[in-house]
Amino acid sequence: MTSFILRAATGYLMPLLLLLSVFMLLRGHNEPGGGFIGGLLAAAAFAFHALAWGPRATLELLRADPRTIIAAGLAAALLAGVVAAAAGEPFLTAHWLPIALPGVGKVGTPLLFDVGVYLVVVGTTTLILLTLGED
């Protein structure tokens, strides 16, 4: 089943949704948002794409296997926790860079942790979605 309307809409919606998801991720620390919501948004974008073009095309678009994305997310979250060990502090103690990046704000291990959450959510949802979508 091919829906041209959906395919055309995806072309506009996907970039917007993905951009919004990153925006949500970055602003999460101060405004409503965060890795979880951002990840779900991105997953929704990929779901759109899969509905319009089929899961195989989405997998090609993703380039990485969703399982690799999950692993990367867990690794990022873990890394965010381990940083503190270098300073001899308890696991997951937050560390911040002294200067704020323009547009992003303060950068530190909680942001890295949130990126990990984001990746795990994206990876898991697309993994289930694409596996279900296979025929």
Partner 1 sequence: MLSAMIAGLLVAAVLAPLAERRLGLWAAPVLAALPAAFAAVVLLNFPRGGGVALTEVRPWVTDLGAELAFALDGLAAVLALLVAGIGALILIYAGGYMAGKATRGRLLAYLLAFLAAMLGLVLADNVVTLFVFWEATSVVSFLLIGFDHHKGESRAAAVQALLVTGAGGLAMLAGLILAGQAASDLGLAGTEAWRISAWATVDLRQHPHYFPTLLLILAGAATKSAQWPFHFWLPGAMAAPTPVSALLHSATMVKAGVFLLARLSPHLGGTPEWGWLVTSAGVVTMLVGAGMALGQRDLKRILAYTTVSVLGTLTMLLGVGTELAVKSAVVLLVAHALYKAALFLVAGNVDHGTGTRDITALGGLARHLPWTFTAAVLAALSMAGAPPMFGFVGKELLYTSKLDLEALGAKLVIAAVIANIALVAAAGMVAVKPFLFRRREPPHPPHEAPASMLLGPLLLGLAGLFVGLVPATFDRTLGPAMAAAILGREVEMKLKLWHGLSVEALTVLVLSTVTVAGGVGLFLVLRRRMATARRLLEHASRVGPTRAFNASLAALPKAADRLSRLVQTPSLGRSLSVIIAATLSVAAPSLILLGRPSLPAGLTEVQLHEVALAVLILAGAAMAVVFPKRLAAVVALGLSGIGIALLFALFSAPDLAMTQIMVESLTVILLALLFAHLPPSPERSSRAERLGHALLAGAAGVVMALFVLVVVPGSFPPSTSEYFLAESFSAAHGRNVVNVILVDFRALDTLGEITVVALAGLGVWALLRLKLGNDRGGEP
Interface residues with partner 1 (CB under 8 A)?
Answer: 24, 28-37, 40-41, 43-44, 47, 51, 66-67, 70-71, 73-74, 77-78, 80-81, 91-92, 94, 96, 106, 108, 110-111, 113-114, 116-117, 120-121, 123-125, 127-129, 131-135
Least separation in angstroms between residue 59's CB and partner 1 is 13
Least separation in angstroms between residue 92's CB and partner 1 is 5
Q: Which residues contact 88 (CB under 8 A, 6 or more apart)?
A: none
* Rounded Cα distance, 36 and 128, in Å: 17
Strand, helix or coil for residue 8: helix
Backbone angles phi, psi at 105, to 5 degrees: 95, -160
Least separation in angstroms between residue 63's CB and partner 1 is 18
Tokens representing 101 are: 């990046």
